[in-house]
Amino acid sequence: MPKIIARKEDWINLGFKIFSEEGETGIIVEKMAKKLKVNKSSFYWHFKTRKHFIDELIAFWVNNATEQIIHLTNIKKTARQRVKTLVSLIYKQDPYFDFIFFLKRYAQKEKRIQEVIDSIENKRIQYANDLLVELGYSKQEARIKSSILYKHFLAYHEILRYKTQSLNYEKEVKEEINQFIKY
């Protein structure tokens, strides 16, 4: 017999995993309820609609893939340490990295989502920009290099998508990044 209710976090964690694997089309309340061994009414206890649920998934992604990384990076004292920590965190293979790719696809149908993506990407690039200025790059150099760094980050994960990451990934990535950013 199914449990009557699942915690909001249970729905979010499962939804985030499914969205990262299948995108928006994988978010089927009945199937998710079955996986959580609950009635689908449990879903509606926490979320008004499927669209509201997806908005919660996006907020979860923003917090975990951007805000937490910035927080963990900012703990370090020097700009050099922060850049090293940032690179270590963002280049580590993540089984949920495809969330952004599926989110971009979803944004083609839901235009308001593109604004969220643009805002997050701008925040990420601006954060890298600020670190590079702190490292001593001019504002113009930092603007260009932070944009290249972000594009490298996206391409790196796209290339790695169906592969196993090297245990020496930090060294390998640093070697590549050091071609345009010395840290």
- Strand (E) or helix (H) holding 9: helix 8-22
Residue-level pLDDT at 162: 87
Residue-level pLDDT at 3: 61
Residue-level pLDDT at 17: 98
Residue-level pLDDT at 22: 98
pLDDT digit string, tens, across residues 48-104: 999 999 999 999 999 999 999 999 999 999 999 999 999 999 999 999 999 999 999
Q: How many CA atoms lie within 13 A of 112 on its CB side?
A: 4
pTM for this predicted structure: 0.91
pLDDT digit string, tens, across residues 154-174: 999 999 988 999 999 999 999
Residue-level pLDDT at 5: 79
| Residue 78: DSSP 8-state | S
- Please determine, for residue 20, whether its predicted confidence score (pLDDT) is greater than 80: yes
87 CB neighbour count, 10 Å cutoff: 21
In whole angstroms, give the CA distance from residue 100 to residue 97. 6
In whole angstroms, give the CA distance from residue 170 to residue 181. 14
- Please determine, for residue 1, whether its predicted confidence score (pLDDT) is greater than 60: no
In whole angstroms, give the CA distance from residue 13 to residue 131. 32
- Please determine, for residue 40, whether its predicted confidence score (pLDDT) is greater than 80: yes
pLDDT grade, residue 2 (50/70/90)? Answer: low
pLDDT digit string, tens, across residues 109-139: 999 999 999 999 999 999 999 999 999 999 9
